[in-house]
């Protein structure tokens, strides 16, 4: 019994650490968006560079993390803990919306130079800022909710052998999909 609890705690810790790391980046992105909006033209180049760097991080690391959840974690939970299927369905929908937000932000970043050269920076910024803040709030909510509800509730329903199988599947996926 004690080994099941230890294994559960270890698995929860792994997922929560990744979420904490991403939450720090989400906070940095929110700060970068606010800086872009309020610091003016003098700091614009630095702020755009920060925004681009963070979007790159999300495009690589957050997408990889969500792929692991979609391909390994959620299907595993569907089979081994089916009573949480509605919660898992909600998290899948949130993943789709987060991905949509990321695609829209990338599209807006690609338009930055063109719109700025045409003197349309203010219009560009309004649209980009709204899309970025939607991403910030949805992603923050998703990560916190997933850590607080899904991982703690669902993983605690798993037994030691199931946790071992899940850990092995996740490690294999992450090794094969190392970016």
Q: Summarize pLDDT for 140-174 with one digit per residue, the tens.
A: 999 999 888 877 788 778 887 888 888 888 878 87
Token pair, residue 64, equals 């990889």
Residue of 120, 101, 125, 127 whose CA lies nearest to 44: 125
50-89: per-residue pLDDT in tens? Answer: 999 999 999 999 999 899 899 998 999 999 999 999 999 9
Pull the structure tokens for residue 179. Answer: 């970016």
| This prediction's pTM | 0.87
> Of 106-115, 127-136, 149-158, which range is least confident?
149-158
The residue extents of the domains of the chain are 2-176
CA quadruple 141, 143, 144, 145: dihedral positive or negative?
positive
- The domain made up of 2-176 has a fold known as 1.20.120
SS3 (DSSP) at 2? helix
């Amino acid at each position: 019994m004690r080994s099941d609890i230890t294994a559960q705690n270890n698995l929860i810790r792994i997922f929560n650490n990744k979420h904490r790391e991403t939450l720090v980046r989400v906070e940095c992105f929110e700060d970068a968006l606010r800086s872009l909006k309020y610091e003016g033209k003098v700091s614009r180049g630095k702020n755009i560079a920060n925004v681009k760097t963070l979007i790159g991080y999300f495009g690589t690391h957050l997408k990889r993390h969500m792929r692991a959840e979609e391909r390994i974690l959620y299907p595993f939970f569907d089979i081994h803990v089916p009573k949480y299927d509605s919660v898992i369905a909600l998290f899948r929908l949130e993943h789709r919306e987060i991905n949509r937000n990321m695609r829209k932000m990338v599209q807006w970043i690609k338009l930055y130079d063109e719109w700025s050269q045409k003197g349309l920076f203010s219009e560009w910024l309004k649209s980009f800022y709204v899309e970025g803040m939607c991403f910030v709030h949805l992603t923050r909510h998703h990560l916190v909710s997933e850590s607080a509800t899904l991982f703690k509730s669902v993983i605690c329903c798993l037994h030691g052998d199931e946790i071992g199988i899940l850990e092995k599947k996740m490690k294999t996926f992450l090794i094969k999909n190392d970016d």
